[in-house]
Amino acid sequence: MKTKILLADDHRLFRDGLHRLLDNSENMTVIAETSDGAETVTVAIEKKPDIILMDITMPVLNGIDAARRIVQENPRIKVIILSMHSDRRFVLEAFRAGALGYLLKDCAFDELTKAIKTVAEDQVYLDGSIARIVVKDFISQSAGKPDSVFAVLSVREREVLQQMAEGQSTKEIAGHLNISAKTVETHRKQIMDKLNIHNIAQLTKYAIREGLTGLE
């Protein structure tokens, strides 16, 4: 039986190339593609893939929070993060969210297929280059280095921040998240207070730096 894969990445050219490579593999087939985190959650719950290959920086909802929702909803779905981000914080938060694998996008296809097979057997996969980066970063990390956005803000606050950074109005954010405009404003104030950032331009820069959005 072929391993059913969902590709979640906001770059169509990347998805198209990876789709062809995976479909040409003997034991794997791509059953769906998605381009934002919220869509990925919906499609994953509906299609029930065996493996999701998930980017971190995607519109509407980032890949880490999308992974968390999916694994909570259906623990049998396994997530591999396939990202440009090599920072230790992203790797740790991905595994905390329930991902079982983490690779960089410049990995070899053989490395990816090895990761898929490993994770399909319910084992954790972390490629060698990432492992070296994580260990080196951990050793050299200064005690005063700030926590990641995933440690500082709640899930809902991250959702609001991402959509603020992507230019959504208060009314639009309220509609997307099924909450009132007043609640959005409350979250906005809490975000600003927690981060000690009090203008949208700086919040947007922060969201990009922390991998919540790429604004591409």
Q: Is the pLDDT of residue 71 over 80?
A: yes
Query: Helix axis angle, 155-165 relative to 181-195, nearest 10°?
Result: 90
What is the structure's pLDDT at 216? 55
Lowest mean pLDDT among 26-35, 101-110, 120-129: 120-129
Domains contained in the chain, CATH given? 3-140 (3.40.50.2300), 149-209 (1.10.10.10)
Tokens 């992974």 locate to 67
Helix (H) or strand (E) holding 201: helix 200-209
Are 41 and 58 in contact by the 8 Å Cβ rule? The answer is: no
Q: pLDDT at position 132, please?
A: 75
